[in-house]
Chain A
Amino acid sequence: MEQSTGASRDSGVTATPVEHGPETTGRSQRDGYRGLQLGLTVLRIGPLLILLAVAVALSFLSPFFLTTRNLGNVMAATAAIAVLSLGQLLVILTRGIDLSVGSTLALASVVGALVFTTVDSGPVVILAMLATGLLVGTVNGIVYVKGRLPHPFIITLAMLSIARGLALWLSGGQPIRGMPPVVDSIGGGSIGWFPVSAILILGIAFLVFVLTTRIVWGRWIYAVGGNPEAARRTGIPVNKVLISVYVLSGLMAGVAGIITAGRLDAGSPTFGELAELDSIAAVVIGGASFLGGRGNVLNALVGAVMIGVIRNGMNLLAVDAFFQLIIIGVVIVLAVEADVLRGHLEDRFRVFEAARS
């Protein structure tokens, strides 16, 4: 009797079509198994749950939080981080890191502003900024892969310095005022209360979502992150995939440059300082693993929005800006701990799996 209840409980919970061998596991193990599955599921959707909890809490604490005007502000302020984190996600999926995106953002804005001083064309300015990001990303990827560097940390750290230096040199260290109207409306415009930049981000996020879940190239990105050696052996063009994620990350930095320049109607060598850390934080808060191969677009966006919401909420509550840094740091630690906990639960899960089969 004990056995039959065990079996039915099991099939109800895990929808296991194939049962092997005699039923040997007891009730407590079944509960443990179910608990593990529940825990893993919660961790998977955890970032979204936490974001909702924070939003609900803020809506009680501040009457302004849920106003359309404030939400529009949050989105516009988060847009640049969000697009950077989409690029950063692709890089982190392959076990990499891109420290150069903040500087690249600044360089792109300066290049755009300089182009605008000689060519009065919105599309040309936009193309110049995108090309700047693309170029920086390509250099990152090629030097990392062809230079056989052990880790992308160093090359992108070098590029953080190089791109910022270039931006300062090209601009003479000063902000350059003026952006074409189309750039201004991308970065600062809105439809009703909904920022144009947020629409752009949703569009790009959708494209990255399609890439990562529906396209062969995206599947290869996950495969390279999951097991580079096996990817090589199965004939996946590992080097090209690695270069491609840095190219895309650079391109996203170019887009972030457009958004930031448009929002402030200027190009400046000081834009995007520490933005690389925000983008990494967003991806990590979104549950992506530094060990590669884990993470998705929705959660990365949630991570970016979480950073934006926490900053906004603390401004509304008039919390000292110093505390914002502390709180975001604590959130990062919690997110990483959640990842460690997930690894631990998965180990336990495997043991159960071996015992059950």
Chain B
Amino acid sequence: MTSVTAVPALAVRGATKRFGAVLALDGVDLEVHRGQVVALLGDNGAGKSTLIKCISGVHQLDDGVIEMDGLPTAIHSPAQARDLGIETVYQDLALFDNLGPAANFYAGREAAGPRWLPTWLRVLDRKGMASRTTELLDRLQVGLPDMSSQVGLLSGGQRQAVAVARAAAFASKVVILDEPTAALGLRESRRVLDLINRLRERDHAVIVISHALDHVMDIADRAVVLRRGRKVGEEVPTRENQQRIVSLIVGGEG
């Protein structure tokens, strides 16, 4: 069922990015296949966020290529990344607290008609959006107390789940999660990790930035470690090599 095919859903080869004199990324390689969760590790300033932002179209690479399903692809803007099937959940979640889950799911891409009207004048398909949102949340086993209440009334974990589910709903290829458990308690973290596992089962390619190594052990198939803009290691994270991964991150001799 899980199709870890020969061609990765997303491959970054020789990614290089400079900000003035600072070399933020220096020839980094990264591959993610469908049905795979790859953790991106590294200390602050290691280049994780820069790499993510290059993939999601916020920054452009100075050198190197991004391949989608084996085809070299230039990503110039966040909108283009989304069109290519890459969705990113940033730490701030980018949720609209004053709106309900369905409105959040479809913000900026509302289902509406008729087609002969300009987009902004179309009539919202409120029932359609609500039922598809409910269906998707059910499929990902995200239980919300009330589908009509605003997202601002949800707990931190529920909000994270809504943001992740929204990304999964629209990402045909890659879901990128930036510190999905950083602000959550123990139980709520567990829920979000379960959710990430379900994304894998549903054949998404998932990239997760996380500082929580025990979470990484739980969910990631591979861990890519960056330090000062370079890739310094790639491991299958297990309890046994946790120490080694830590020393890769901090740069001690491991």
A residues at B contact (CB < 8 Å): 14-21, 214-217, 219-220, 222-223, 225-227, 229-231, 233-237, 292-294, 346, 349-351, 353-354, 356-357
Contact = CB atoms under 8 A, between A and B. Distances in A.
B108 interface: yes
B71 interface: no
A229 B107 CA distance: 12
A353 B124 contact: no
B94 A230 contact: yes
B99 A222 contact: yes
Interface stretch (B4-12, B150-158, B203-211, B231-239): B150-158
Tell me what chain A mostly uses at the interface: helix, strand, loop, or mixed.
Answer: helix
B109 A235 contact: yes
Interface stretch (B25-33, B115-123, B212-220): B115-123
Given A222-B98, A235-B109, A217 B155 contact: no
Nearest to A217: B120
24 contacts: A14-B145, A16-B145, A18-B143, A18-B144, A18-B145, A21-B187, A214-B123, A215-B121, A216-B120, A216-B121, A216-B123, A216-B124, A217-B121, A219-B110, A220-B120, A222-B96, A226-B96, A229-B92, A234-B94, A353-B154, A354-B155, A357-B155, A357-B187, A357-B188
A222 B126 CA distance: 15
Contacts of A222: 96, 98-99, 103
A13 to B, nearest CB: 11
Contacts of A17: 143
A245 to B, nearest CB: 13
Interface string B142-173: 01111000001111111000000000000000
A357 B143 CA distance: 9
A223 B120 CA distance: 13
Contacts of A294: 98
Contacts of B95: 227, 230
A217 B96 CA distance: 16
Contacts of B157: 354, 357
Nearest to B111: A216
Contacts of A350: 152-156
B109 to A, nearest CB: 7
Nearest to B120: A217
B78 interface: yes
Interface in B91-144: 92, 94-99, 103, 107-110, 112, 119-124, 126, 143-144
B81 to A, nearest CB: 11
The residue in B78, B79, B96, B156 that gathers the most chain A C-beta atoms within 10 A of its C-beta is: B96
B185 interface: yes
B158 A219 contact: no
A21 B158 CA distance: 15
Contacts of A19: 143
Contacts of B185: 354
Contact of A233 (B94, B97, B110, B145): B94
Contacts of A14: 145-146
A209 to B, nearest CB: 13
B155 A223 contact: no
Nearest to A211: B121
